[in-house]
C-alpha cells in the first residue's frame, strides 16, 4: 500500500503543535514532556507498548484531558484559550468508540454532525460522504447495538470524520477489524491524511509502517523517537527505544 | 447547540421502555387520585357550600389532587434524570461530548432541558384532567395556572438535582438514591416543626413549604426565587463537576 509523503500546505502554521505536554494521573506520571508538530499530509503513528502513554497523549491533544504543563494548538487555536474552536478542528476516535447502542447509524452520524456545527444540506451531504467512505451503506438504518465490532469501529471513525477535521486522532483504530476491513481502514486513513493531519496510536510496528509516513515512539510516557516511517532500521529503533 | 442536546436527550428518554412504563404508572396514579378526590368533593359539597367562603371544585382539587402529585413528581424527576450523565460515563459515550466543541454549560443545560421537557408533558397531563372539568363546570383558570407553575418549578428543581447526582457517578442507582434522599429530606423538613429559633431556617429549605402557596393561588416571588435558585445551584454544580472531570482525567 502506497503511503503518501508529507505535503506542505504552503502555510507556516502547523495543523497541530504540542509543546512540552506533561500530565500526571493519580500519583504516576502518565506522559512527560511530549512535543509534536504536524503539518497537512502527516500521518503519524504513535507507537508504543501497552501502558506507554499513547491514549493519554491523544486525550491531551484532543482536549478531553487538560495537561498539567505544556500547550496544544490546533490549526491556530489554543486548546487552553479557545477550547471550543480548537476542538472544532479535531476528530477523535477513542479506543472504545463512543456509540449509543439504541440509535441507528444515520441518526448517530446526524447527531455527531450537529454537535460539530453542521446543519441542513451540508450535514446530509457530509453524512452520506462518510457513510460511503467508511463503507456503512449496508448498515445505515440498523441499530448500532446490533453491529459487529468492525462496523462499530467504522461508525466511530465516521463520527470523527463527519466535520472534515483538520486533525484526526485515532486510538488503536484497527481494533477488532478483519483483514479486509483493516485494508479499507488504512486506505481511508491515508486518503484523509492527504488533506489533514492524522495521528493514530498503535502497538504494532507493521501497522504504523503500512499506514503512516512518520512514526513517533513513546515509551514510559516520554517521546523517545520521531522519524520517517520508511527505513529498514525502524524495527531496531522501536525495540531499542522500548527495552 | 442546547436545542440539539435537549432533543437528543428527550428522544433517548422516549426510546426507553422504562420511560413509558413510568409514564403509564403516573397516568394511572393521576386518574385514580383525580376520581377519588372528585368523589370526595361530591360527598362534602353540601358542607362546603354552608361555609362563609366556600372552596370551589378547582380549589378543592388543587389542594387534594395536584398538591400530593408534587411529591410524586419529586420522586419521579430523579428517575428520569438519573441516566443523563451516569449512562454516558458507564457506556463510554461521554468522550463524544468531551471531544466536541460543546461547553460543559451547554451540555448540562441541554440535558436538563431534554428531561424537563418530558417531565413538563407529564405535569400538563396531570393538569389536563382538571382543565377537562371545564366541559361540565366553571373552573378557576388562574388557580390552575398558579398550581401548574408550582408543579413545573418543583419538577425543574428536582430534575436539576437528579442531573447533578447523575454527573457524580457511573452508577444510575447511586445517583437516584442520593437525589431521592436529599429531596425527601427536604420534604421532611416541611412537615417537621422547628420551634427553636436557630433551626427555623431549616423550614425555609423545605420544598413543601414553598409549594403550598401555589396550590392556594398565592404566588410569592420568594417561593419562585427558591425553586429558581435551587435549579441554578444544581445546574451550576453539574457544570463544575464536568469541568473537574476534564481536569482529573476520570
B4 with A114: Cβ contact below 8 A: yes
A115 with B97: Cβ contact below 8 A: yes
Mean pLDDT, range A75-89, rounded to an integer: 91
A115 with B103: Cβ contact below 8 A: no
Say if residue A10's pLDDT is above 70. no
A184-209: burial string, b at 16+ Cβ within 10 Å, e else: ebbebbbebbeebbbbbbbbebebbb
B166: exposed, middle or buried (Cβ count in 10 Å: 0-12, 13-18, 19+): buried
Q: Are residues A56 and A170 in the same domain?
A: yes
A195 in Cβ contact with A202 (< 8 Å): no
Closest CA to A93 of A148, A123, A55: A55
Interatomic CA distance for residues B147 and B61, integer angstroms: 10
B99: exposed, middle or buried (Cβ count in 10 Å: 0-12, 13-18, 19+): buried
DSSP assignment of A86-148, as one string? HHHTEEEE-SS----TTSBHHHHHHHHHHHTT--HHHHHHHHHHHHHHTT-GGGTTSBGGGS-
Using the 3D structure, point to which of A135, A164, A193 is the last residue of a domain. Answer: A164
Instruction: Please indicate if any CB of chain A lies within 8 Å of the CB of B138.
Output: no
Say if residue B29's pLDDT is above 90. yes
Using the 3D structure, point to which of A130, A164, A198 is the last residue of a domain. Answer: A164
Task: Please report whether residue A183 resides in a domain.
Answer: yes
Q: Which residue of B12, B16, B83, B101 to mutate against A (max A Cβ within 10 Å)?
A: B101
B96 with A84: Cβ contact below 8 A: no
Instruction: Please indicate if any CB of chain B lies within 8 Å of the CB of A145.
Output: no
Mean pLDDT, range B200-221, rounded to an integer: 83
Say if residue B109's pLDDT is above 90. yes
Q: Are residues A218 and A237 in the same domain?
A: yes
Report the pLDDT value the prediction gives residue A178, as an integer from 0 to 100: 82
Q: Are residues A232 and A200 in the same domain?
A: yes
Instruction: Please indicate if any CB of chain A lies within 8 Å of the CB of B85.
Output: no
ipTM, two decimals: 0.84
List strand residue ranges (DSSP E) for chain B, in order.
Answer: none
Q: Of A125 and A206, which is predicted with more confidence? A: A125
A64 with B1: Cβ contact below 8 A: no
Using the 3D structure, point to which of A111, A139, A164 is the last residue of a domain. Answer: A164
Range of the domain at A231: 16-89+166-242
Report the pLDDT value the prediction gives residue A239, as an integer from 0 to 100: 64
Residue B10 vs residues B56, B114, B176: alpha-carbon distances, Å: 37, 5, 18
Say if residue A2's pLDDT is above 70. no
Q: Are residues A84 and A183 in the same domain?
A: yes
Say if residue B191's pLDDT is above 70. no
Q: Are residues A172 and A228 in the same domain?
A: yes
Residue A82: DSSP 8-state: -
Q: Are residues A111 and A143 in the same domain?
A: yes
Residue A126 vs residues A87, A199, B59: alpha-carbon distances, Å: 18, 22, 56
Mean pLDDT, range B40-56, rounded to an integer: 80
**What grid cell was written down for B249?**
482525567
Instruction: Please indicate if any CB of chain B lies within 8 Å of the CB of A117.
Output: yes
Q: Are residues A131 and A197 in the same domain?
A: no
Q: Are residues A84 and A176 in the same domain?
A: yes
Q: Are residues A83 and A170 in the same domain?
A: yes
Averaged confidence pLDDT in chain B: 88
Say if residue A21's pLDDT is above 50. yes
Q: How many contacts does A have with B, using Cβ atoms within 8 A?
A: 61
A66, A102, A116 ranked by CB distance to B101: nearest = A116
Query: What's the number of domains chain B is made of?
Result: 1
Task: Please report whether residue A96 resides in a domain.
Answer: no
Report the pLDDT value the prediction gives residue A5, as an integer from 0 to 100: 42
Q: Are residues A23 and A42 in the same domain?
A: yes
Interatomic CA distance for residues B223 and A30, integer angstroms: 50
Say if residue A8's pLDDT is above 50. no
The side-by-side arrangement of strands in the sheet containing A77-78 is A28-38, A16-25, A69-74, A77-78
Say if residue B195's pLDDT is above 80. no
Q: Of B146 and B47, which is predicted with more confidence? A: B146
A84 with B1: Cβ contact below 8 A: no
Terminal C-alpha separation, chain B: 25
Residue B125: count other Cβ atoms within 10 Å of its Cβ: 13
Closest CA to A46 of A174, A214, A177, A175: A214
Report the pLDDT value the prediction gives residue B194, as an integer from 0 to 100: 58
**What grid cell was written down for A180?**
479486509
Q: Of A241 and A161, which is predicted with more confidence? A: A161
Range of the domain at B101: 2-248
Amino acid at each position: 500500500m502506497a503511503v503518501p509523503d508529507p505535503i506542505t500546505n504552503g502555510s507556516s502554521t502547523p495543523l497541530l503543535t504540542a509543546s512540552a505536554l506533561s500530565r500526571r494521573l493519580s500519583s504516576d506520571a502518565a506522559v512527560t514532556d511530549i512535543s509534536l508538530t504536524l503539518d497537512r499530509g502527516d500521518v503519524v503513528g504513535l507507537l508504543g507498548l501497552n501502558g506507554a502513554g499513547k491514549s493519554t497523549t491523544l486525550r491531551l491533544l484532543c482536549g478531553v484531558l487538560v495537561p498539567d504543563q505544556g500547550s496544544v494548538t490546533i490549526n491556530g487555536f489554543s486548546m487552553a484559550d479557545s477550547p471550543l474552536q480548537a476542538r472544532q478542528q479535531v476528530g477523535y476516535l477513542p479506543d472504545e468508540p463512543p456509540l449509543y447502542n439504541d440509535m441507528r447509524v444515520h441518526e448517530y452520524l446526524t447527531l455527531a454532525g450537529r454537535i460539530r456545527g453542521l446543519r441542513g444540506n451540508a450535514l446530509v451531504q457530509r453524512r452520506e460522504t462518510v457513510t460511503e467512505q467508511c463503507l456503512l451503506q449496508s448498515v445505515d438504518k440498523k441499530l448500532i447495538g446490533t453491529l459487529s465490532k468492525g462496523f462499530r469501529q467504522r461508525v466511530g471513525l465516521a463520527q470523527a470524520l463527519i466535520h472534515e477535521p483538520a486533525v484526526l486522532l485515532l486510538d488503536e483504530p484497527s481494533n477488532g477489524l478483519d483483514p479486509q476491513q483493516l485494508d479499507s481502514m488504512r486506505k481511508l486513513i491515508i486518503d484523509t491524511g492527504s488533506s489533514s493531519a492524522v495521528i493514530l496510536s498503535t502497538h504494532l510496528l507493521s501497522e504504523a509502517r503500512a499506514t503512516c509516513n512518520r512514526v513517533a515512539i513513546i515509551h514510559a510516557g516520554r517521546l523517545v523517537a520521531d522519524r520517517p516511517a520508511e527505513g529498514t532500521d525502524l524495527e531496531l529503533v522501536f525495540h531499542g527505544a522500548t527495552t | 447547540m442546547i436545542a440539539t442536546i435537549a432533543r437528543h436527550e428527550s428522544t433517548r428518554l422516549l426510546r426507553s421502555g422504562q420511560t413509558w412504563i413510568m409514564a403509564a404508572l403516573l397516568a394511572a396514579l393521576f386518574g385514580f387520585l383525580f376520581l377519588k378526590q372528585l368523589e370526595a368533593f361530591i360527598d362534602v359539597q353540601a358542607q362546603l357550600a354552608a361555609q362563609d367562603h366556600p372552596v370551589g371544585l378547582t380549589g378543592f382539587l388543587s389542594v387534594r389532587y395536584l398538591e400530593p402529585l408534587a411529591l410524586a413528581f419529586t420522586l419521579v424527576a430523579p428517575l428520569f434524570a438519573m441516566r443523563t450523565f451516569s449512562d454516558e460515563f458507564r457506556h463510554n459515550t461521554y468522550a463524544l461530548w468531551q471531544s466536541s466543541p460543546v461547553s460543559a454549560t451547554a451540555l448540562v443545560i441541554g440535558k436538563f432541558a431534554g428531561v424537563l421537557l418530558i417531565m413538563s408533558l407529564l405535569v400538563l397531563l396531570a393538569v389536563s384532567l382538571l382543565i377537562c372539568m371545564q366541559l361540565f363546570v366553571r373552573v378557576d383558570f388562574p388557580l390552575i395556572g398558579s398550581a401548574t407553575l408550582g408543579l413545573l418549578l418543583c419538577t425543574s428543581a428536582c430534575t436539576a438535582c437528579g442531573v447533578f447526582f447523575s454527573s457524580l457517578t457511573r452508577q444510575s442507582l447511586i445517583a437516584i438514591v442520593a437525589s431521592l434522599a436529599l429531596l425527601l429530606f427536604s420534604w421532611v423538613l416541611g412537615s417537621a416543626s422547628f420551634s427553636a429559633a436557630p433551626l427555623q431556617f431549616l423550614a425555609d429549605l423545605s420544598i413543601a413549604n414553598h409549594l403550598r402557596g401555589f396550590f392556594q393561588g398565592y404566588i410569592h416571588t420568594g417561593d419562585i426565587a427558591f425553586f429558581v435558585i435551587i435549579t441554578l445551584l444544581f445546574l451550576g454544580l453539574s457544570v463544575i463537576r464536568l469541568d473537574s472531570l476534564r481536569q482529573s482525567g476520570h
